[in-house]
Amino acid sequence: MTGPESEGLQLRRAVCPGSFDPITNGHLDIIARASKLYDVVHVVVMINQSKQGLFTVDERIELIREVTAEYGNVEVEAYHGLLVDYCKERDIPAIVKGLRAVSDFDYELQMAQMNNGLSGVETLFVPTSPTYSFLSSSLVKEVAAWGGDVSHLVPPAVLSALTERLPKK
């Protein structure tokens, strides 16, 4: 081991979880801001076997790696299980989540309270940039599927992947 951890210094780590099918500029905004606040940000694609995605988990990971590479302190992987177990296994004390609107808050608060009760892991909420407050992966897929322009809502690599994956209508 080299670096701060080899010298006994604890790196400050946080996790940004999600489905990321696919990653959008809204996700990226939160990840970029978390990467300035923490030494290492773990972006984790939570596997939900009951939900059929447009992209496979490996494809989502590949896209996230590509678009977060410039931050230099983002690690990307998938996890199947409870988010708090992921955090416990890696000794991560904090979850960072974006809040787009008040309507996000009820459900996010429930999850934050449940996660804290289960494990003591804290959730920190970052207000999404107003530019992206309406944005979701589902909306991006729907608009792109009908040929709408989403080039301002996703990174170029994701736009190419969407164009390739979605049938022309």
* Binding site as annotated, residues: 19-20, 27, 51, 83, 97-100, 108, 132-138
Q: Is the peptide bond before 22 cis (omega within 30 degrees of 0)?
A: yes
- Cα–Cα distance for residue pair 68/52, rounded to 1 Å: 24
State in Å, rounded, how far the first CA of the chain is from the last one: 52
Query: Which DSSP helix (H) or strand (E) runs through 65?
Result: helix 57-68
Interaction with ligand PNS in 109-128: which residues (CB under 6 A)? 111, 114-115
Closest CA to 21 of 166, 154, 138, 153: 138
| Sequence ranges of the binding site for substrate | 19, 51, 83, 97
Residue with Cβ nearer ligand PNS (117 or 148): 117
Helix (H, G, I), strand (E, B) or coil at 156: helix
Residues involved in catalysis: 27, 51, 100, 137
Which of 14, 18, 150, 153: binder of ligand PNS (CB under 6 A)? 18
- Cα–Cα distance for residue pair 20/63, rounded to 1 Å: 9
Residue with Cβ nearer ligand PNS (40 or 78): 78
Residue 78 touches ligand PNS, criterion: CB under 6 A: no
Handedness of CA 60, 133, 155, 151 (dihedral sign): positive
Show the binding pattern over residues 20-59: x = contacts ligand PNS (CB under 6 A), - = does not. Answer: --------------------------x-------------
Residue with Cβ nearer ligand PNS (46 or 143): 46
* Interacting residues with ligand PNS (CB under 6 A): 17-19, 46, 82-83, 111, 114-115
